[in-house]
Structure 1
Amino acid sequence: MGARSRWLMISVGLGILLNPLNSSMISVAIARLQNVYRLDFTVVSWIIFSFYIASAIAQPIMGKASDLFGRKKIFLTGLVVSFVASLLAPLSPNFGWLIVFRIVQAIGTSMMVAVGMAIVRIHITEKQATALSVLSIFLSGAAAIGPFIGGVLIHWWDWSSIFFVNIPFVVASFLLAWRMIPEDEPPTSVARNMSFRKWLDLIDASGILLFTVGLVALLVGLLSAKSSGHVSLWHIIVGLIGLVLLLAFVRHELKTTSPFIPLRTFAKYPAMTWVNVEFMLVNVLFYSLFFGLPSYLQMVRHVSEYQTGILMLALGLCSLVASPIAGRWIDKSGPRPALLVSAVLMTFGSVWIVTLNETSPVISVCLALAAFGISNGLNNVGMQAALFKSSPKEIIGVASGLFNTSRYLGTILSSLLIGIVMGGKFSFEGFRVLGIILTVIALSLVFMSRQRRESGQLQNSNEAR
């Protein structure tokens, strides 16, 4: 790999790491933001919801936009949008404006993730697999060390520093990308002559609107009822509006020719559908711990952000160490054994959370973190391998998009689960209930992994006959 290719990879890597970094750093800032803006836990949790909902919508849209307007243009525009959001977010006069800038930040960072891999795949022709694996390290490494970086920054400065820290990465990536990413080819005549209405149809603007408004309305109805402590007529109406809009979204996606989420693919390929369901549950488990444990340490055990970041580092390091080991194991034995071990580890970690009490040594949470970290490393590789195994080659691009959608739905559901369990105040009792729920989900994953293994053995025996 030549020097220019290496610098191209670095320029892309510095850009794409911003999305996972900003999604994970916020986990140690929840308690601080709650105190600064004097809000209850349910309201502050929208700092998580908003980022993941915006990312889930923006990434597929920007992927389509790059085919029309050029990948370099989308990448550089994403850096500019991220720069503006990172600069203005700390200056927010209230929490509402912070959410707005957080959404803008999610859109900007998603623009880079949507096209970063494609840029490397197109312009780096030698040792391409190595280049793509290095970019994966940028993504997974940023997510892994995000809580630690966030804890250190908040300890020495303030919560605003988790936004300002993006600026050096943005500037470095922009300067390198401006020089290293080759210019885009001129747009085709189809792209030049495409009307705005045609563009809206291409990205399925109607489906996106139904999905966004329906999901937000349902979340508002559920979380507001839990936060206030009683269910009012307003909560029911808002929740029902959200549910109706989501049902309308499903109906629309099954009919439209260019769906935002191709639901018909799920019905056509049940094996791939089950992989996505498992992946969604895995992310519910992982991110419930990822966002719940820092709040438990800070609000219940009164651990500082700095110490919380250090403890959370166990999660990231175990995940990073487990991933390459999982790759070699899965190459030899397939994804089933690794996914079964992962489900068992998540069950152990969830049960361990339930056994914690208010006087347990703080360091003991590292056992749960290590269990979830190792399982995350196994899942990162195992679920991807299971997806490729269950998906026909002709739809692998669509399958990868659905896979990422399942990840985002899992993260959104994890935030919803924490919000419903905790309500307005994060408590030890709520944290224990959360552990019980996670244990049930983990046990269901053990069952699903065993069923996958048995069905695979049956299929192999039938093929042998």
Structure 2
Amino acid sequence: MNARSWWLMISVGLGMLLNPLNSSMVSVAIPRIQQEFKLDFTVVSWIIFSFYISSAIAQPVMGKASDIFGRRTIFLSGLVIAFVASMCAPLSPDFGWLIVFRIVQSIGTSMVVAVGMAIVRVQITDKQATALSVLSMFTSGAAAIGPFIGGVLIHLWGWSSIFLINIPFVAASFLLAWRTIPKDKPLASAAGKLSIRQWMKVMDVPGILLFTIGLVALLAQLLSVKSSGHISWFNLAAGLTGLLLLAAFVRHELRAASPFIPLRTFANYPALTWVNVEFMLANLLYYALFFGLPSYLQLVRHVNEFHTGLLMLSLGLCSLVVSPLAGRWIDTSGPRPAMFVSAIIMALGSVWIILLTPSSPVISVCLALAAFGISNGLNNVGMQAAMFNSSPKDIIGVASGLFSTSRYFGTILSSLLIGIIMGNQFSFGGFRILGIVLTVIALCLVFMSRRRREPERMLP
């Protein structure tokens, strides 16, 4: 690859790391934000929900939008939106405004992620595997060191610093992208001839609205019931409305010509369905620990943000070290053995969480983090390989999009699980219950990975 290609990769990588960096740094900031705005644990968990729900919706939508307006335009616009949100978030007068800016930040960073990989695939034709692995290092590395960076920043300058740290990354990515990403040929001129109804059909606006409103309504009522301790008629009506809207969403997506989430793909390829279910459960397990353990360390063990981030670094580093080793193993043995071993390690890590006490030595916490980090490294490579093997080549793009959506569903469910178990206040008893629930889910994943029968090669 020539020098221009390397600079293009760096510009795209600096932009793409914003999404995993901001989704991971907040895990250390939750206790401080909860204290700052005087919130219960259920309410503050919406800072996690809002980001992942917005990402789950924005990425496929912006992928479609890039075909109309051009990838370069979407990429640069996403950076501008992320810049504005990062500047405004520290000025939030209350928690509601912080959630608004968090959502805007998620949309901006999702625009960058949605087209970043496609830009590299199109613009770099020599040594594409190397180029894609470099991008993976940006995103995986950002997720790995996010809690550590967040812990250091919060310890020195407070929670607002986790938003301001985005500014140099955004500025560098924008300047480099402006010079290195060529202008593509969007379909905006043709799109200008579409009527409003045709626009809504192409973007599947009804599907997006049904999914968003239904999911938020259902999650809000589940958390509200846990927080208040009783079910009101309003909770019941709003929760049922959310379920009905999600049912209407499924019905709509099965009939839509250009669906927001192509659900028929799941029905046509059962092996692909099971891969996505397993990936969702694996991410539920991983992110439940990812968001739960920092609160345990800070609120139960009274560890400061700096040392919490330092301990959490072992989670990401184990994942980064194991990933290339997993790739070699999977190349020779296929994804199934790695996924089975990963599920067993997650089960052992979940049992270890149950055994932790308020005075357990630090090495015990590191062992739990290492177990989940190793299993995450195996899962990221193994399940992606299983997804490719289970997907016909002509729908590999759709399958990749569904795979990312499954990750977000897992993270959303992990936040919901923590919120329901903890309620108003994070406690050690709740943390132990979380460990029990995670153990049950991990054992289900062991059973599923043992019984699955995906092909060990890509379908034609």
**Normalising by structure 1, what TM-score?**
0.96
Q: Distance in 1 between matches of 2:65 and 2:106?
A: 16
Q: Distance in 1 between matches of 2:161 and 2:129?
A: 35
- Residue correspondence of structure 1 range 432-443 to structure 2 within 5 A: 432-443=432-443
Identity of aligned residues (%): 76
Contact 1:222 1:420 in 2 (8 A): yes
Amino acid paired to 2:394: E
Identify the residue that residue 368 of structure 1 maps to in structure 2.
368
Identify the residue that residue 138 of structure 1 maps to in structure 2.
138
Q: Distance in 2 between matches of 1:188 and 1:65?
A: 10
Q: Distance in 2 between matches of 1:30 and 1:261?
A: 31
Instruction: Kindly report the root-mean-square deviation, in angstroms, between the aligned alpha carbons of the 2 structures.
Output: 1.2
- Residue correspondence of structure 1 range 23-42 to structure 2 within 5 A: 23-42=23-42
Q: Distance in 1 between matches of 2:254 and 2:197?
A: 21
Q: Distance in 1 between matches of 2:189 and 2:29?
A: 48
Instruction: Single out whichever of 374-383 and 388-397 deviates more from structure 2.
Output: 388-397
Q: Distance in 2 between matches of 1:86 and 1:375?
A: 32
Identify the residue that residue 197 of structure 2 maps to in structure 1.
197
Contact 1:21 1:146 in 2 (8 A): yes
2:320 matches 1:320: yes
Deviations 1:106-128 (A, max 9, x none): 00000000000111111111111
Identify the residue that residue 49 of structure 1 maps to in structure 2.
49
Shift of 1:188: 6.6
Q: Distance in 2 between matches of 1:194 and 1:407?
A: 34
| Secondary structure, counterpart of 2:63 in structure 1 | helix
Contact 1:311 1:363 in 2 (8 A): no
| Secondary structure, counterpart of 1:302 in structure 2 | coil
Shift of 1:363: 3.3
Contact 1:18 1:109 in 2 (8 A): yes
Shift of 1:236: 1.2
Identify the residue that residue 60 of structure 1 maps to in structure 2.
60
2:291 matches 1:300: no
Amino acid paired to 1:218: L
Amino acid paired to 2:446: V
Amino acid paired to 2:399: A
2:352 matches 1:352: yes
Shift of 1:186: 5.3
Q: Distance in 2 between matches of 1:355 and 1:288?
A: 17
| Secondary structure, counterpart of 1:183 in structure 2 | coil
Identify the residue that residue 279 of structure 2 maps to in structure 1.
279
Contact 1:336 1:449 in 2 (8 A): yes
| Secondary structure, counterpart of 1:29 in structure 2 | helix
| Secondary structure, counterpart of 2:357 in structure 1 | coil
Identify the residue that residue 159 of structure 2 maps to in structure 1.
159
Q: Distance in 1 between matches of 2:58 and 2:448?
A: 31
- Equivalenced residues, count: 456
Amino acid paired to 1:199: W
Contact 2:69 2:188 in 1 (8 A): no
Q: Distance in 1 between matches of 2:234 and 2:193?
A: 46
Amino acid paired to 1:112: V
Instruction: Single out whichever of 195-204 and 16-25 deviates more from structure 2.
Output: 195-204
Deviations 1:118-143 (A, max 9, x none): 11111111111100110011111101
- Residue correspondence of structure 1 range 226-305 to structure 2 within 5 A: 226-305=226-305
Amino acid paired to 2:218: L
Shift of 1:233: 1.7
Q: Relative to 1, partners in 2 of residues 1:241 and 1:294: Cα closer, same or farther, differing over 3 Å? A: same
Q: Distance in 1 between matches of 2:272 and 2:246?
A: 22
Amino acid paired to 1:259: P
| Secondary structure, counterpart of 1:442 in structure 2 | helix
Amino acid paired to 2:354: V
| Secondary structure, counterpart of 1:193 in structure 2 | coil
Deviations 1:373-417 (A, max 9, x none): 000000010000000111111111111111011000000000000
Q: Distance in 1 between matches of 2:96 and 2:362?
A: 34
Q: Which runs of 4+ in 1 moved over 4 A?
A: none
Q: Distance in 2 between matches of 1:77 and 1:211?
A: 25
Shift of 1:194: 2.8
Instruction: Single out whichever of 124-133 and 87-96 deviates more from structure 2.
Output: 124-133
Q: Distance in 1 between matches of 2:198 and 2:293?
A: 46
Q: Distance in 1 between matches of 2:306 and 2:233?
A: 43
Q: Distance in 1 between matches of 2:359 and 2:378?
A: 32
**Normalising by structure 2, what TM-score?**
0.97
Identify the residue that residue 109 of structure 1 maps to in structure 2.
109
Amino acid paired to 1:170: V
Amino acid paired to 2:50: S
Q: Distance in 1 between matches of 2:318 and 2:203?
A: 38
Identify the residue that residue 463 of structure 1 maps to in structure 2.
none
Q: Distance in 2 between matches of 1:115 and 1:199?
A: 20
Amino acid paired to 2:24: S
Amino acid paired to 1:226: K
- Residue correspondence of structure 1 range 392-431 to structure 2 within 5 A: 392-431=392-431
Shift of 1:196: 3.4
